[in-house]
Amino acid sequence: MSKQSGLDNARKRQLQRQSTQKVWDIIAASGVKRRWVAKHLGISYGYLNQVQYGQSPMTDSLRKKLSTYLGLPESELFVEIEEEEAK
């Protein structure tokens, strides 16, 4: 798994942030610190930040963990954005 860095991946980072925004909004609204969320998910706080800001890709495993943690189906948490429609 590699970081999504550089100008070539700026669009990927933007799309990832858009597709996962609901997750971060729910976590922020809950008042629970992201450090605690990361610890509960078994990942580092740094990695959680990288995923949130699109610097590391959202893996299927992390999608499942977040879905379970928040008690909502993945289909409600993550928006599938087609690159063409997001332009």
Whichever domain contains 63, its CATH number is: 1.10.260
The dihedral region occupied by 31, where left means phi > 0, alpha psi between -120 and 50, and beta the remainder, is: left
62 belongs to a structural domain:
yes
Q: Residue 19 belongs to what domain range? A: 7-69
51 belongs to a structural domain:
yes
Look at the chain and report how many structural domains it folds into.
1
Judge if pTM exceeds 0.85: no
CB atoms within 10 A of CB 22: 15
User: Tens-of-pLDDT digits for all 87 residues of the chain?
Assistant: 455 555 567 888 888 888 899 999 999 999 999 999 999 999 999 999 999 988 898 999 999 999 999 999 998 998 876 544 444
